[in-house]
């Protein structure tokens, strides 16, 4: 087995188990990095230092550290729309400012059972609605590679925390690309599991037929370990699938010979940055050199994905966010003279502009006279998109795409142009609509030194194929390092 790269979750766990370090020392280092960098980055929203050190001390006191779990002593950051008992969870919104959930999400509980230590909560677009992490009520997140640029969204805080070396692992949520796109723009690994692979219990809902929790990581092995910790059925989530959790570590065998990779080259002909296209083409050459069969394919109905996604997702958001009424929890406006006025004022004050925009769009497409014309047609088109992916995956084992059509763009550039912002998701929303697993891996840099992401999409519940291919690419190009180290991946642009 390869030696884990320094700073990875695998390396930290090994050092802890072998007695070369303590969980306390590891967490003190992470807390120091957060204190030094976060004011400028804006990646973290809440950190409970005392709770972190108590948890670390408890792990250090174990008689046999080998029993502490596969992520023992590893600090993990958690996106702020994933509930953590006793630790503020706001979803980046004034509507939930100061809210402390009475329970933790199933994914968080499973991480902790695996020995991980939740170091804090990461900033995100409000209610996970955004592609740039600029829509948080608590300020934007900045890309560690160039702090004048966005880290992507909505899980931008989690991606920035990995890229800056604050932590080796983080959880995000992916509705239309919110794990994969920031992973690409920050140059780390981001995985969207198959819909139903990971419990959504404790994830603050945006679009319930699309939302999935997924890991962001430094290495493929770390991502596989994190998914193994959080995956599996859950009685508290009726949409979690009763599918066994395999040994994904066994997929990291460094062999991709004979694997068929479908490359829809036609999708790169319009709107894709030249450096991004070159890096993805170069990645195809790497796979071919390692024995994969790379073939051009057509991905049917791909042009429908963005409009279909923004009809279905906003409709579901309109329904899910109706619960934020100022009555049971969250922000309640003062001074209202009637129940209706209190509802209106609480929602007007609590929600930001992008959330209001999506609620209005979703309410419109669900309204009488428009439901058939928009929502039902979008659902029919979703079935065609799903069929298009199924057809492509019948002739290929994996589909390769850019994760994002462009590298990280300047902060503020697209805030006033929602359509341009939504087009950031052009390559990620298709897999979300089809419920498929997809991973973004770093595949080089632009001429300006900005990371580029390669996306691989697989068949339902075949995350093993994603890990296998991504591991081969990582072995060929070298382990990625946080930008704070000044290192670059070998190979790529």
Q: How confident is the model at residue 359 (pLDDT cuts 50, 70, 90)?
A: very high
Q: Across the strands, what pairs with 429?
A: none
Q: What is the pLDDT of residue 297?
A: 97
Q: Find all residues with CB under 8 Å of 289, minimum gap 6, and list them.
A: 476
State the CATH number of the domain containing residue 57: 3.90.1300.10
Q: What is the pLDDT of residue 400?
A: 98
3-state secondary structure of 374: helix
In a domain, 304, yes or no: no
Q: Find all residues with CB under 8 Å of 191, minimum gap 6, and list them.
A: 179, 180, 214, 215, 216, 217, 223, 227, 437, 438, 439, 440, 463, 466
Q: Find all residues with CB under 8 Å of 34, minimum gap 6, and list them.
A: 44, 47, 119, 120, 166
pLDDT digits (tens, 9 = 90+) for 433-485: 999 999 999 999 999 999 999 999 999 999 999 999 999 999 999 767 777 54
CA distance 247 to 290: 23
In a domain, 476, yes or no: yes
Catalytic: which of 8, 79, 131, 158?
79
Instruction: Give kind and range of the element (H or E) at residue 465.
Output: helix 463-477
Q: For this structure, is 148 an active site residue?
A: no
In a domain, 316, yes or no: no
pLDDT digits (tens, 9 = 90+) for 252-297: 999 999 999 999 999 999 899 999 999 999 999 999 999 999 999 9
Backbone φ and ψ for 108, nearest 5 degrees, come out as -70, -45
Q: What is the pLDDT of residue 488?
A: 41
In a domain, 360, yes or no: no
Q: What is the pLDDT of residue 320?
A: 97
Helix ranges, 116-164 (H): 156-163
Q: For this structure, is 79 an active site residue?
A: yes
In a domain, 264, yes or no: no
Instruction: Give mean pLDDT, residues 380-390.
Output: 98
Contact between residue 268 and residue 402 where contact means Cβ atoms under 8 Å apart: yes
CA distance 203 to 134: 21
Q: For this structure, is 404 an active site residue?
A: no
Residue 490 has pLDDT above 50, yes or no: no
In a domain, 470, yes or no: yes
Q: How confident is the model at residue 329 (pLDDT cuts 50, 70, 90)?
A: confident
Contact between residue 276 and residue 185 where contact means Cβ atoms under 8 Å apart: no
Q: What is the pLDDT of residue 492?
A: 40
Instruction: Give mean pLDDT, residues 292-309.
Output: 96
What's the whole-number average pLDDT of the chain? 95
Q: What is the pLDDT of residue 40?
A: 96
Q: Across the strands, what pairs with 453?
A: 442
Q: What is the pLDDT of residue 390?
A: 98
Q: What's the pTM value of the predicted model, to 2 decimals?
A: 0.96
Catalytic: which of 173, 178, 199, 240?
178
3-state secondary structure of 210: coil
Q: What is the pLDDT of residue 104?
A: 98
Q: What is the pLDDT of residue 188?
A: 96
Instruction: Tell me what percent of the residues of the chain surpass a pLDDT of 90.
Output: 92
Q: What is the pLDDT of residue 489?
A: 42
Helices (H) and strands (E) counted in the chain, each on its own, are 15, 11
Residue 227 has pLDDT above 90, yes or no: yes
First to last CA, the chain: 29
Kindly state the DSSP code that residue 322 receives in the 8-state scheme: G
CA distance 361 to 366: 9
In a domain, 410, yes or no: no
Q: The domain containing residue 118 runs over which residues?
A: 9-252+436-451+458-485
Catalytic: which of 154, 173, 240, 440?
154
3-state secondary structure of 290: coil
| Total tally of structural domains belonging to the chain | 1
Q: What is the pLDDT of residue 485?
A: 47
Residue 87 has pLDDT above 90, yes or no: yes
Q: What is the pLDDT of residue 484?
A: 56
Q: How confident is the model at residue 1 (pLDDT cuts 50, 70, 90)?
A: low
CA distance 220 to 469: 10
Contact between residue 286 and residue 473 where contact means Cβ atoms under 8 Å apart: yes
Q: How confident is the model at residue 2 (pLDDT cuts 50, 70, 90)?
A: low
In a domain, 337, yes or no: no
Between helix 9-17 and helix 23-41 the angle, nearest 10°, is 150
Residue 76 has pLDDT above 90, yes or no: yes
Residue 4 has pLDDT above 90, yes or no: no
Q: How confident is the model at residue 182 (pLDDT cuts 50, 70, 90)?
A: very high
Instruction: Give mean pLDDT, residues 363-384.
Output: 95
Torsion of CA 192, 194, 200, 206, to 10 degrees: 60
Instruction: Give mean pLDDT, residues 56-63.
Output: 96
Residue 80 has pLDDT above 60, yes or no: yes
């Amino acid at each position: 087995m390869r030696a884990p790269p320094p700073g990875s979750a695998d390396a930290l766990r090994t050092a802890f188990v072998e007695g070369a370090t303590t969980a306390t020392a590891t967490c003190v280092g992470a807390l120091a990095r957060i204190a030094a960098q976060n004011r400028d980055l804006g990646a973290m929203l809440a950190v409970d230092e005392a709770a972190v050190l108590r948890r670390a001390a408890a792990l250090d006191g174990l008689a046999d550290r080998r029993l502490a779990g596969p992520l023992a002593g590893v600090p993990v950051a958690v996106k702020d729309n994933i509930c953590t008992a006793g630790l503020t969870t706001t979803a980046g919104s004034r509507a939930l400012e100061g809210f402390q959930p009475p329970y933790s999400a199933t994914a968080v509980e499973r991480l902790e059972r695996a020995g991980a230590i939740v170091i804090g909560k990461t900033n995100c677009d409000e209610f996970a609605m955004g592609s740039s992490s600029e829509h948080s009520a608590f300020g934007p997140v900045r890309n560690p590679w160039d702090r004048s640029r966005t880290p992507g969204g909505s899980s931008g805080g989690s991606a920035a925390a990995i890229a800056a070396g604050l932590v080796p692992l983080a959880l995000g949520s992916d509705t239309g690309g919110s794990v994969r796109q920031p992973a690409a723009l920050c140059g780390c690994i981001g995985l969207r599991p198959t819909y139903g692979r990971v419990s959504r219990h404790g994830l603050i809902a945006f679009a319930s037929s699309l939302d999935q929790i997924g890991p962001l990581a430094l290495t493929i092995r770390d991502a596989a370990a994190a998914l193994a910790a959080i995956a599996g059925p859950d009685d508290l989530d009726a949409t979690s699938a009763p599918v066994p959790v395999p040994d994904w570590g066994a997929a990291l065998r460094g062999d991709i010979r004979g694997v068929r990779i479908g490359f829809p080259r036609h999708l790169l002909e319009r709107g894709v940055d030249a450096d991004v296209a070159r890096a993805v083409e170069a990645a195809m050459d790497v796979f071919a050199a390692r024995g994969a069969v790379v073939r051009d394919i057509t991905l049917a109905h791909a042009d429908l994905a963005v409009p279909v996604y923004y009809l279905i997702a906003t409709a579901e958001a309109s329904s899910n966010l109706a619960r934020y009424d100022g009555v049971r929890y969250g922000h309640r406006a003062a001074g209202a003279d009637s129940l209706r006025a209190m509802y209106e004022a609480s929602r007007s004050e609590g929600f930001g502009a992008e959330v209001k925009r999506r609620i209005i769009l979703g309410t419109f497409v669900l309204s009488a006279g428009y439901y058939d014309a928009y929502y039902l047609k979008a659902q029919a088109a979703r079935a065609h998109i799903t069929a298009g992916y199924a057809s492509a995956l019948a002739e290929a084992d994996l589909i390769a795409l850019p994760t994002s059509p462009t590298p990280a763009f300047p902060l503020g550039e697209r805030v006033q142009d929602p359509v341009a912002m939504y087009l950031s998701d052009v390559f990620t929303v298709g897999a979300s609509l089809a419920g498929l697993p997809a991973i973004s891996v770093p595949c080089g840099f632009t001429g300006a030194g900005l990371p580029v992401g390669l996306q691989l999409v697989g068949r339902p519940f075949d995350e093993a194929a994603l890990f296998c291919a991504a591991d081969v690419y990582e072995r060929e190009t070298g382990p990625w390092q946080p930008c704070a180290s000044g290192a670059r991946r070998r190979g790529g642009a």
